[in-house]
Amino acid sequence: MNLQGRHLTGQVALVTGASRGIGRGIALALAEVGADVVVNYRSHAGEAEAVARQVEAHGGRALVWQADVADRTAMERMFAGAVERFGRIDIAVANAAYSIREPVIEAKWEGVLRTLEVTQFGVFHTCQFAAQRMVAQGIAPGRRSAGKIIVISSIHEEVAFANSAAYNMAKAAVNHLVRTLARELTPQRINVNVINPGWIDTPGERDHYSEESLREGAKHMPWGRLGTVEDIGQGAVYLASDAADYVTGAMLRIDGGFVARLELRGH
């Protein structure tokens, strides 16, 4: 299947955490190939509006919706509002996440709980509400799938990085959720897949590293650079496309060879 052109025209995508970083990259990548986009955000309203304007510049429709993915009632309202506006949801991307980096023996429970509420439970809410809607609406004429659900996880699901226990276990949990949901939704022809990004250049990384540290770290990555949000966006476009109609319960790792090498180049 050719991935060129506007092959998602007429489809509606909902992306959580879409105001910046990976979510923004995915929202814009989907818009570039024709999708209308529900731009979810929690606390960056101006950036969310900017993403919506870019979606519209690509010729798509956009709906900006503030909701904390950890708030189940707010998420239910968002899905209802998206359906009221666009009539259906064809693609749901559970991207929003949260992480506090600290060793287990020093971890404050409120940070652990918030990480799980957003990174694990928020993904569950997104996937469940999306699946319920997709089952109800069925397969649209001319399509082979009733919908595509894509979870953005992390190589933290595979590698036990120190000082990230809550985030690591949340990501491991959502990957298993993907496999479970894929099995349950196969009869309804709903594809459920997960992307494991590696070290990606996002605004959130600036919470943990200086610009100099990021530049230096990039030099030692196997591919010689950090990943970009566009790299992840293109992976999401593939999984949302007809080309991935026979792909479900799969993990797509986009990390420039980091996990395969299990080391930084030159170290």
Classified as helix, coil or strand, 13 is strand
Helices and strands of the chain, counted as H and E runs: 9, 7
Per the annotation, the verdict on 148 as an active-site residue is no
Per the annotation, the verdict on 246 as an active-site residue is no
Output the CA angle 52-53-55, nearest 5 degrees.
Answer: 65
Phi-psi region of 254 (alpha: psi -120 to 50; beta: other; left: phi over 0): beta
Rg (CA), the chain: 18
For residue 164, give both structure tokens.
Answer: 């990230």
**How far is residue 203's CA from residue 55's CA, in Å, rounded to a whole number?**
20
Active-site residue, from 41, 98, 167, 238: 167
**How far is residue 247's CA from residue 111's CA, in Å, rounded to a whole number?**
35
**How far is residue 85's CA from residue 88's CA, in Å, rounded to a whole number?**
8
Report in angstroms the alpha-carbon separations of 180 from 57, 154, 176, 185, 230: 37, 18, 6, 9, 28
**How far is residue 221's CA from residue 126's CA, in Å, rounded to a whole number?**
32
Active-site residue, from 41, 99, 153, 171: 171
Strand bridging mode 147-152 / 190-197: parallel
For residue 140, give both structure tokens.
Answer: 């649209």
**How far is residue 180's CA from residue 172's CA, in Å, rounded to a whole number?**
13
Active-site residue, from 154, 164, 238, 241: 154
Note whether 39 and 52 are within 8 A (CB). Answer: yes
**Residues with a known catalytic role:** 154, 167, 171
